[in-house]
Amino acid sequence: MNTNRKISLVALCVVAIVLFNTPFLSIFNKPTFIGSIPVFYGFLFGAWLLIIGATAWLLRQSEAEDE
């Protein structure tokens, strides 16, 4: 595993920790809805999807560079 990949994955982990930490989550914990979905749940699942997508993208990019 090269150094750039390690740095990118650590940075992504730090971003995930910040996104799912209580002070940041409390910003979206309001009784408002977008469509029929509460803002809190929309943010929670959207951020989760973003982290999974970014992880998959980083690992595929580095896999292509290895070949």
What is the rounded distance in angstroms from the CA atom of residue 61 to the CA atom of residue 57? 6
List the beta strands (DSSP E) in 1-67: 33-34, 37-38
What's the total number of domains in the chain? 1
- Domain of residue 51 covers 3-66
Dihedral, CA of residue 7, residue 11, residue 13 and residue 16, to nearest 10: -160
Span 27-65, pLDDT tens digits? 999 999 999 999 999 999 999 999 999 999 998 886 667
Per the confidence metrics, is the pTM higher than 0.85? no
